[in-house]
Amino acid sequence: MRRPRVKQPVTPLAYGSDEAAAAACGASVDFYVKYIRSELRLVRRGRKRLVPVAEIARWLEENSARTLEP
């Protein structure tokens, strides 16, 4: 007998704009587009824009450090 395969959750490597805004940054899409997206490196294919998870982490690290400086 074969054991059923257990599906492992897939960790995304990149987000679309809606997902990047909501899940990663906790911001609305409008806020994300106006204030954040221009500072991120994006992957563009056709009309689709993907934001690598590592790029969001980099942006958050750089911008959180600014608020702690005297």
Phi, psi dihedrals of residue 44, rounded to the nearest 5°: -115, 130
Interval 2-19: pLDDT, tens: 777 878 888 889 999 888
25-69 pLDDT per residue, tens: 788 989 988 999 999 999 999 999 999 999 999 998 888 866 655
Would you say residue 8 lies in a domain? no
Sign (positive or negative) of CA dihedral 31, 58, 17, 50: positive
To the question of pTM greater than 0.75 for the whole model, the response is: no
In a domain, 3, yes or no: no
Total structural domains in the chain? 1
Domain assignment present for 4: no
Cα torsion through 32, 35, 41, 46, rounded to 10: 60
